[in-house]
Amino acid sequence: MTQIHAKFLTDSEKKAFDTDHRATIAYNVGRYDEAVLHGKMQYSNLALARKRAAMRKHRVIENLEDHLKDFEYHFTRNGGKVLWAQDVDEARKAVLEVLEKNYVRLVVKSKSMVTEEIGLTDFLEKNGIETIETDLGEYIVQLSNDKPYHIVTPIMHRSARDVAKIFHEKFGLPENSTPEEITAFVRTTLREKFQKAQAGITGANFLVSGSGSVALTENEGNGILSMSMPPIHIVVTGIEKIIPSIEDLDLFWLLLATHGTGQQVTVYNSLVSGPRKRDEADGPTQMYVVLIDNGRHKLLEQIPQRRALGCIRCGACLNVCPVYRNIGGHTYNSVYSGPIGAVITPHLRGMEEYKHLSYASSLCGMCTEACPVNIDLHQQLLQNRNLSVTQGLPSKWERWGMKTFKKVMSKRKWMDMPGAGLKNFGMRLFFGKSWGPRREMPKVAPKSFGDMWKENHL
Ligand code: SF4
């Protein structure tokens, strides 16, 4: 068992029995569930919208190279510059070079999971560039030296009281400050940063290959300010974010809003296609898109699993997942958590180290049912398991255990051979670690299930 796997088991065990955590998540997910139910009512045929979105994403993924070239061509023609990055180091270096060349000392940044993936904020801070998260949730994450808990709602694990405490400790705000008071304080603090920043960094929800545009959707307006106030705008995003045309946004923007937060449409939806033109009054004078691979091509090579590249990062699969709701976002030890994280992380960060995430699922299929782009997540988890076996990654003990299990389960007489006491002993001996110390083993049964069945049915 790798160290990462062992940590995952210890952390899950701890989190699953943390009743405060469970109550906070249940409350926040409960609110989300209500909103989504309402949001979905705007569709007369949601199944059709999902099918269309899945088809469009599928076509893009199958022809990704062509779409990327198309995006670069159009974006460059609009006056922007595309910077290609194979991995984390190349991506960080590309951003740093732009900032250093322009003597940037202060960066405002909007929420982006890809920048989390490459650890950009810490990296820039270490290189002497002040980098401020401007999304309220991410700002709180930054203030508390935390990590985002969820791909859409980074502080889902925090209650209003927790947040008030953070602002009390950091800025001396009253301990019982309301969310409105905290928001007003943050707005004033950040406004000054927006005015002074020499560069803004954002992610992208979609990249439109047909027009070379970047589509960004958000609820606070901090994304618009990050991309339009400073003289330099850098977009950091993954190569899979492509959609073919602007017309596709009417489908994707709405599906993302509905499944991400339960809104009919997100408050701010921006589309930018390059730096300010000569006759334009505002906007940045330089614009870059850093396009990151960082393992995505490995996923593309796996034909059944490549569908996962169609993910629009709405977070719906996390919210419905019984495993995520119990063990929480941080336990996955990956920027992408929940079912989609369990599918893509082993490809992005290594099957050997992260294959256990694909096993951490009950395969109930709730994630697949929730996904707005019809990614068959529970099937993908099985595909990953299959791949890890094909690659010979399970340990000698796991292989031996599965072989024995298969043999015993294939014949009734093998199953009934050891008594209940011996079965319990064997379970404790061989699976004690995964079973954990808190669960009760079943008491010794007076009769086997087979015997009871015979008595009642034969
Ligand atoms: S896999 Fe589907 S449900 Fe999960 S985040 Fe991506 S788009 Fe949303």
pLDDT at 167: 97
Q: What digits encode the pLDDT tens for the residues 347-361? A: 999 999 999 999 999
Q: How confident is the model at residue 453 (pLDDT cuts 50, 70, 90)?
A: confident
In ligand 1, the atom with minimum distance to the C-alpha of 260 is 8
Higher-confidence position of 316 and 410 = 316
Ligand 1 pocket member 168 (CB < 6 A)? no
Q: How far is the CA of 374 from the centre of ligand 1 (A)?
A: 8
In ligand 1, the atom with minimum distance to the C-alpha of 370 is 3
Q: What digits encode the pLDDT tens for the residues 261-306? A: 999 999 999 999 999 998 998 899 999 999 999 999 999 999 888 9
Residue type, 267: V
Q: Is the pLDDT of residue 168 over 80?
A: yes
Q: What digits encode the pLDDT tens for the residues 50-109? A: 999 999 999 999 999 999 999 999 999 999 999 999 999 999 999 999 999 999 999 999
User: Which of the listed residues 32, 241, 299, 313 should we mutate to test ligand 1's pocket, taking the one with most ligand atoms within 8 A of CB?
Assistant: 313
pLDDT at 46: 97
Q: What digits encode the pLDDT tens for the residues 209-264? A: 999 999 999 999 999 999 999 999 999 999 999 999 999 999 999 999 999 999 99
Contacts of 215 (CB under 8 A, 6+ apart): 204, 205, 206, 207, 208, 243, 249, 253, 269, 270, 271
Q: Is the pLDDT of residue 433 over 90?
A: no
Ligand 1 pocket member 309 (CB < 6 A)? no
Ligand 1 pocket member 315 (CB < 6 A)? yes
Ligand 1 pocket member 341 (CB < 6 A)? no
Ligand 1 pocket member 310 (CB < 6 A)? no
Q: How confident is the model at residue 134 (pLDDT cuts 50, 70, 90)?
A: very high
d(CA 255, CA 264): 9
Q: How confident is the model at residue 309 (pLDDT cuts 50, 70, 90)?
A: very high
Q: What digits encode the pLDDT tens for the residues 7-36? A: 999 999 899 999 999 999 999 999 999 999
Q: Is the pLDDT of residue 425 over 90?
A: no
Q: Is the pLDDT of residue 441 over 80?
A: no
pLDDT at 324: 96
Percent of the chain with pLDDT over 70: 98
In ligand 1, the atom with minimum distance to the C-alpha of 308 is 1
pLDDT at 103: 98
Q: Is the pLDDT of residue 312 over 90?
A: yes
Look over the chain and give the mean of its residue pLDDT values, rounded to a whole number. Answer: 93
